[in-house]
Amino acid sequence: MSTKNAPESLFETIKQTVLVPLHAAGLPFVAGGALATLCFMLVSETLAILAGVFTIFCLYFFRDPVRVTPQREELVISPADGRVINVASNVSLPKEIAPENSPATFTKISIFLSVFDVHVNRIPISGKILKSAYNPGLFLNASLDKASDKNERASLLIETDSGRHLGVIQIAGLVARRIITDVSEGDRVETGARYGIIRFGSRADIYLPEGTNALVCVGQRCVGGETVLADLVSNETRREGKAH
């Protein structure tokens, strides 16, 4: 690396790891926290510190880092940061997005997002949004199996350019109270593009076409917009993991 390019590279590194952009959904929280901090400074040092901590946490929680998405047809990319908590075969699509001509079963990958994970969600594969549905529900711990069916959720059915169907579900968690989805039925979407956010602790479920093997294993951490979950044209067997 030349000396001439070093300062620019250092700046890019700082920008991508420290000066991470803020998602628009976090602006009211950060602005409100900052205002509360200033007001509390006039009456209570303790309250001002608490408000300041809340503001800093919101800056961290609503961060929206740049991601580099693998570009190849038929790759399924993780829609969220978090830990894989389940990989299940022979699972039905949520009824609100299941098309009449859809295969009976799918492979489901569930990713749990803690409050410390990036909560901006990304499109897992390019295609067209065939269905979009919102279901009110409970706010159970998102790591529980029944959260897929019982919790508040927003669901998308994507048809790929090759005609395959995939489901991606944003699921509210124990403290999550708002799911934001910025795409609609009929929209054309691209792999890795931002499409929404879940506020505070949540889960993402991805439904892969029948016969597709997951290329991630339970316990593995995923990076939204970067980690490859599956290859729709690969014959590779399902991966198993081992902790070291």
Which residues belong to the active site? 202
User: Of 198, 177, 34, which is closest to residue 114 (Cα–Cα)?
Assistant: 198
Radius of gyration (C-alpha) of the chain in whole angstroms: 20
Residue with tokens 């830990």: 83
| Cβ proximity of 208 and 106 under 8 Å | yes
The SS3 of residue 135 is strand
CA 215 from chain centre, in angstroms, equals 17
| Nearest-angstrom CA–CA distance, 97 and 78 | 20
| Cβ proximity of 134 and 117 under 8 Å | no
Instruction: Give the bridge partners for 222, in sequence order.
Output: 82
| Nearest-angstrom CA–CA distance, 88 and 117 | 23
